[in-house]
Homo-oligomer: A and B are copies of this chain.
Amino acid sequence: MPRVGLTRERVVEEAAVLADEVGLGQLTLAALAERLGVRQPSLYKHIESLAGLRRNISIQAKGELGNVLLRAAVGRSGADAIHSMSRAYRTWALEHPARYAAAQIVAGPHDEEDAAASLAAIAIITDVLIAYELEGDDAIDAIRAFRSTLHGFVALEAEGSFGLDVDIERSFERMIRGFVTALTNWTETIATHDGGR
């Protein structure tokens, strides 16, 4: 029984790679064990459960996404930063679909580690939008809109929900431009909550 020399890190990393190939929901301990050259129960020496493994993938993915956004935004500001960050977000998400999906998981209210990872990633987005001198609830609304825009596009694209014919790249660029336009006039768009009814 030669030892393979697994570590928690190696298990989680390989699980993330496997998940990106087959889909987060199709990630199975059986397949992971085989890929690591180990019997299935042996994995429990390094993880708590399948749910625990997914949690680890989620936390790692949030960290990776945060780093990607950080690198894209550093040294930039305003519309420049938004465009750069948006592209980095989309590219990373499409290259790592399962990691991206895992990064969207919201952990329970007592999971400090996960909350920290989530916050760190979102903080990058927040910082960039703050440059538009939005304050308080204005900023929160804008951040929610931006996150929605990015996530919606990437999620639909990853699922193949867009028709195949027309250039998706260009659609994305235009959408981001549109968001910047909206952002520039943000304080004017005060919801009256009746919206034409």
Contacts and interface: CB of A to CB of B under 8 A. Distances in A.
A173 interface: yes
A18 B58 CA distance: 27
A141 B171 contact: yes
**Interface of A (DSSP majority class):** helix
Contact of A152 (B141, B155, B169, B182): B155
Interface stretch (A37-45, A63-71, A143-151): A143-151
Interface residues of A, number: 54
Interface in A63-91: 76, 79-80, 83-84, 87
A106 B159 contact: yes
A179 interface: yes
A183 interface: yes
28 contacts: A25-B25, A83-B196, A83-B197, A104-B159, A104-B161, A106-B160, A137-B167, A140-B163, A140-B166, A140-B171, A141-B175, A144-B153, A144-B171, A144-B175, A145-B175, A147-B156, A147-B161, A148-B175, A149-B149, A149-B152, A170-B193, A174-B190, A176-B195, A177-B182, A177-B195, A178-B189, A181-B189, A182-B182
Interface of A: 25, 76, 79-80, 83-84, 87, 104-106, 137, 140-141, 144-145, 147-153, 155-156, 159-163, 166-171, 173-179, 181-183, 185-186, 189-191, 193, 195-197
